Amino acid sequence: MPDARSHLDLRLMVAAFGAVTLTFLAAYALTQYALRRVDAASDEIAFNSAPSIQRLSALRTDVRHTEFLLGTAVTIGDAQDRAAVEPALAQLNAEANAYLTLPTFPGEKSLWRELNDSIAAFNGAVQRVLAQADAGAAQAARSGLAGIAVSADRVSDAAAGAIEFNAQKGRNLALAIKTVRHDTAVAGYALNASCVALAVMAAFLVRRQLRSYGVLLEEHAALQESRATELESFAGRAAHDILNPVAATQMSLALAMKLDVENPRLRQLLARAVRNLLRIRRIIDGLLQFARAGGKPSPGASVDVPTVIEDVAAGIRQSAEAAGIEVRVESNTSCRARCSVGVLTSVVLNLAQNAMKYMAAGGATRRITFRATERGGAVHVEVEDTGPGIPPELKEDIFLPYVRGPNQSKEGLGLGLATVKRLCEAHGGRVGVRSSIGQGSLFWIEIPGSADAVATSVRGTD
């Protein structure tokens, strides 16, 4: 049932995130659409409605100005006004042509034609009156002024109608822009609200998934702790149950070896039995050490790290050199760790024996290197080898019980590195490894530095 709910939550999360993405895309598309509509309406106002009103207003002024100049020239006979009539008429026609070349709104063509016809009639009437005046027919010219007034009114009325039409279109476009903005805002709020709701739902699902994952981690940790406790208990019981008969048998065989046994075959069998018992004893010691590794450090425990490393290196040097392995100690600075001699010896010796065990036979370089430094109040110890390296898939689990390197033919239960980890963590430290296939491995441990070492360091700076 929990798995089914988890799968459902995952599907809902994917759907929620997909819906949020689609909502953002929809909001973007809506915004772009609204901007295009606003731009189009703005262009109509800026490049059609407003210029049309401007040209038509100027045209009405020019009509009245031309009518006035013509009337003055005919009735008074002012030559200056006569000379100004035709330029004024030309200006009127220029304004009319400028308007007539602008784009037209739907339904504006009829107004356009009416204005064009009225201007043509006005032009004709003006030219007739001018011709009569120039011919000396003053009476006929003055009589024609009445027709000029009618034609001018017709042009003015046609221009006024076109102005009103364009003004109405401008108002409609402005209202359309306002409507687009309002509708876009409402849609934007709705989309944002949907995004928030979907995001809240997704966050709730993520939180529930994280909580489920946390429960699984806690259950896994509890299971691991339970298994470790059971393993400690089993290791301790098994080691103690086996140790007594093994020790008795080992003692009996040792006594038998001291007897004057003439049969070489019998002595060979006794020696093999002793070696097998020693191997069993090492396995039992490993189980006991692992079982006891979870113990807390003794108060005030302190050990000189370089001394322990030198002792371990000296202890393995003879057997290592017999196997063609060089043992090297580098950069052993003076430092003390907050643990007992036995604990640090067990940790470093386990790492050294592990390195010797898996050292590649016949390799070009066969070397084990020890290093110790102090870093930020902690002692950092490294044991580096030139062995075969650790496969990447084992690096995460190499410190777990019963996990062993790729060469499974080597003796042991796979508890050495697990013991190292438990001892270090019980003392507030940590462990790690860096390894490359074919180039070797570097195991490192960190244990808190001793308070005595810190105090000595402080006194040394005074």
What is 215-274 written as a DSSP string? Answer: HHHHHHHHHHHHHHHHHHHHHHHHHHHHHHHHHHHHHHHHHHHHS----HHHHHHHHHHH
Q: Which amino acid is at 362?
A: G
Distances in Å between the Cα of 160 and the Cα atoms of 102, 106, 151, 296 are: 17, 18, 14, 103
pLDDT at 295 over 90: no
Q: What's the pLDDT at 459? A: 38
pTM for the structure as a whole: 0.45
CB neighbours of residue 420 within 10 Å: 25
pLDDT at 94 over 90: yes
What is 136-153 written as a DSSP string? Answer: T-HHHHHHHHHHHHHHHH
Q: What's the pLDDT at 120? A: 93
Contact 162/105 with Cβ under 8 angstroms? no
Contact 62/91 with Cβ under 8 angstroms? yes
Residues 291, 422: Cα–Cα separation, whole Å? 10
What does the mean pLDDT of the chain come to? 79
CB neighbours of residue 315 within 10 Å: 15
What is 380-403 written as a DSSP string? Answer: EEEEEE-SS---GGGTTTTTSTT-
Q: What's the pLDDT at 412? A: 47
Contact 427/419 with Cβ under 8 angstroms? no
- The 10s digit of each residue's pLDDT in 49-73 is 999 999 999 999 999 999 898 888 8
| Torsion angle of C-alpha atoms 166, 171, 173, 175, degrees rounded to 10 | -170
- The 10s digit of each residue's pLDDT in 120-178 is 999 998 999 888 888 888 888 888 888 898 999 999 999 999 999 999 988 998 898 88
Of the given ranges (73-82, 382-391, 424-433), which has the lowest mean pLDDT? 73-82
- DSSP 8-class letter at 448: E
- Helices 264-292 and 416-426 cross at an angle (nearest 10°) of 30
Residues 423, 453: Cα–Cα separation, whole Å? 21
pLDDT at 318 over 70: yes
| Contacts of residue 406, Cβ cutoff 8 Å, sequence gap at least 6 | 388, 390, 391, 394
Mean pLDDT of 375-387: 91
Strands 440-448 and 378-385: antiparallel
Contact 159/59 with Cβ under 8 angstroms? yes
Strands 430-436 and 440-448: antiparallel
Residue 300 vs residue 409, higher pLDDT: 300
Residue 369 phi/psi, 5-degree rounding, is -120, 130
Confidence bin at 297 (pLDDT 50/70/90): low
Residues 123, 148: Cα–Cα separation, whole Å? 9
Q: Which domains does the chain have, with CATH numbers?
A: 2-205 (1.20.120.1730), 297-461 (3.30.565.10)
Q: What's the pLDDT at 328? A: 93
CB-count exposure of residue 25 (10 Å: 0-12, 13-18, 19+)? exposed
pLDDT at 456 over 50: no
Residue 117 vs residue 15, higher pLDDT: 117
Confidence bin at 209 (pLDDT 50/70/90): confident
Give the SS3 label for residue 88. helix
Mean pLDDT of 433-443: 89
